[in-house]
Amino acid sequence: MSNHLAFLIVSFVLLLTFILVSAIKVKKFPLFLVFVIGLLIRLGFTFIFKDSTNFDLESYKRIGTIVLQGISVYPNHILHYPYLPFFLYLEALAMAIKKIIDPIIFLKILFSLIDLLNVYLVFLLSKKNIKTSLLYAVNPVSVLITNFHGQFDVVPLFFLLLGYYLFNKRRQTASLLALSFGIMVKTWPVLFIFPILKRVEKKSWIILLAFFPVLSIGLYVVLFHSSPQDILSTVIDYRALFWSFGLGKLFYLFVSINRPTINQFVSWVFLGAFLFFSLKNNRKNILVECLRNLLFFYVFTISFAVQYFVWVIPFLLLIRPRFYIALIVLITIFLILNFSPVGNPSLITAINLAVWLLFIKIFTFRSSRD
């Protein structure tokens, strides 16, 4: 059996498992078994497709090697490291122990263990709803993006969820520090912290968000004799793929414009609109508010990468808006076709737009209710 066929079969089996779990009643089910099932699925994908590779996975190894050599990765854009200095240490560790375990397998196992912590946070945030945590454990979106494609978004996602959990427990200082750590890992969480920032009792505490990013930059400057400007410019200048999803894809199909100046201008317009919406979007339920911000992002963004889908999954499962299962199914089909070398471009585009339209449907539905 070819790897391509095996990928299609295993992925659709996982998708059917998710649909089955969503359709049945789950009341009495040991949480331990949820973790076991989630771990086995993630390890299964990791080892079955251990030979799969892509640009990002190769970059993990290149960056890890360079870090071990004591060479700064900033501001070298060829190396593709548009993050604050944290994950590069894990890449270096992976390369340091490569004689014991394959670096990519090591990283994917690490991601899997952290994603199991996400399973537990979903369990807690759902008020210990075992079915919700089981659905997250078997959701194919996180597995495909993490254990097949090798993206590490489940790591900063953990700190975002932890921040919301701690905030709900009235541990605001700890919440802000958790969010700070998540921003250090990957700057994406900064887009979805406004629901917490608006509720912080002492606004001066917000400075804690800078604690771990500043610490990581300072440590890196000392160790690698780099400059803060090189680090920050690399992070700020990073852009995902323009015109590749939803509104951006639709616009590109009709206009076919992809110029750096236009891309940058549209990006700033979107960020301004997103900031305005986030500040005006007020809901009693803080998780609903965060989901609304996420939905706004998916509906209106013009720059995108498939790993961004990881972020919405726990919030969809926690809030359960209408059509949320259908959306996760469509996202999964889009990922399967996108990751498959035999995917039909026209079909991928059609599913791409279908996912976007369903995001719009859910976004407008939530608007009318909340």
Q: pLDDT tens digits, residue range 10-20?
A: 999 999 999 99
Q: What is the reported pLDDT for 78?
A: 66
| Short-list 93, 21, 11, 19, CA closest to 48 | 11
Q: What is the value of pTM for the model shown?
A: 0.94
CA angle 248, 252, 255 (to 5 degrees): 130
Task: Residue 339: count other Cβ atoms within 10 Å of its Cβ.
Answer: 20
Query: Would you call 260 exposed, middle or buried from its count of C-beta atoms within 10 A (0-12, 13-18, 19+)?
Result: exposed
Decide if 231 contacts 217 (C-beta within 8 A): yes
Q: How far is CA 340 from CA 3, 67, 203, in A?
A: 10, 32, 47
| Short-list 70, 74, 96, CA closest to 83 | 74
Token pair recorded at residue 291: 């989901």
In sign, the C-alpha dihedral spanning 304, 123, 107, 90 is positive
CA distance 302 to 325: 24
| Short-list 155, 121, 142, CA closest to 46 | 142
DSSP label at 171?
Answer: -
Q: What is the reported pLDDT for 135?
A: 98
Decide if 132 contacts 89 (C-beta within 8 A): no
Decide if 84 contacts 187 (C-beta within 8 A): yes
Q: φ, ψ for residue 49 (rounded to 5)?
A: -115, 40
DSSP label at 147?
Answer: I
Which residues on neighbouring strands pair with residue 304, listed in sequence order?
241
**Centroid of chain to Cα 19:** 22
Q: What is the reported pLDDT for 258?
A: 64
| Short-list 114, 63, 77, CA closest to 220 | 63
**Residue-range domain boundaries for the chain:** 239-370
| Short-list 317, 301, 6, 15, CA closest to 144 | 15
Task: Residue 188: count other Cβ atoms within 10 Å of its Cβ.
Answer: 19
Residues of the chain with pLDDT under 70: 1, 76-78, 239-240, 243, 256-259, 366-370
CA distance 29 to 242: 43
